[in-house]
Amino acid sequence: MPTIALLTCQRLPNLTEPDQLLIPHFRNHGITAEPVIWNDPEVDWKKYDYLIIRNTWDYYTQSDAFFKWLNTLRDQHVRMLNPVDVVLSNMHKFYLRDFQQNGVQIIPTLFSDKSSPISFDKLTEKNWQKIVIKPAISAGSYLTKTFHTSELTKASFNEIMEGNDWLIQPFIPEIEQQGELSMIFFNDQFSHAVVKTPKDGDFRVQRQYGGKYQMIQPDKQLITIGENIIKQIPQKLLYARVDGVMIDGIFNLMELELIEPDLYFEFGDDIKQRFVTAVLERIK
């Protein structure tokens, strides 16, 4: 009987409730799946046939340790879905620059490297009235802040840019007005989609900040855009979440989530079953 570690964090040792419900679905197919904390030093990773990242929702606060752990798994040839190389390349959000260079429409972004920070003059050239600054390694709006550019000085901006890699983007009012679209794919096949809208007066769409989620059915053109984005990843993906927002009728990529995205299993037993079926297709 194959064994699968569903990777989680110390804060969620038993996984989130929706992810816990994957376990009986796996059991129905003769597969033992269990929650395992990614940074538990007592775990022998080689005893599992496969690892699947689900709720490692602290990796961005200890990215060096996470990076080292992933490389250890790779060195030990532990099988992970999505593959370790995919997770490593998806950790740092400067990957968006590669998509942009390959013709994908992304949210307008300045990429500030800690070794060569974006200058205040470069920012002011954009004439963005309000901006969002987020770390290149982040999740769930961690350390993400908004600023009115009129409030920033050259000195204060330079201080913010010091010592980290940052993404600087204009504030997108469409997120408040129509929400952020997430399209979920299993084995490169579209599964379902959710629109997430922030509460009044906020820009963050996550539930912990009062965001609301609703299932929708995107049109074929949008699904094709998501498929084409995923095709730029050379490795086979068990799961992918394509996040974006419509601006002037055009889909703008915000993130391609390949590490530990919420896949919204709570919206239907059929979604959980599609995920398990996708796993079976990968390991048979």
Q: What is the pTM of this model?
A: 0.93
- Cα–Cα distance between 13 and 22 in angstroms, integer? 15
- Report pLDDT for 205: 63
Pick the CATH number of 3-90 from 3.40.50.720, 3.40.50.20, 3.40.50.2300, 3.40.50.1100: 3.40.50.20
Report the chain's mean pLDDT, rounded to a whole number.
Answer: 93
H or E segment and range at residue 190: strand 189-197
- pLDDT, mean of residues 39-66: 96
- The tens digit of pLDDT for each residue in 105-156 reads 999 999 999 999 999 999 999 999 999 999 999 876 667 888 999 999 999 9
Helices (H), 43-181: 63-75, 84-90, 95-101, 120-125, 154-161, 173-178
Q: What percent of the chain has pLDDT over 90?
A: 86
> What secondary structure letter does DSSP report for 136?
S
Pick the CATH number of 174-258 from 3.90.1150.10, 3.20.10.10, 3.40.109.40, 3.30.470.20: 3.30.470.20
CA atoms within 13 A on the CB side of 275: 30
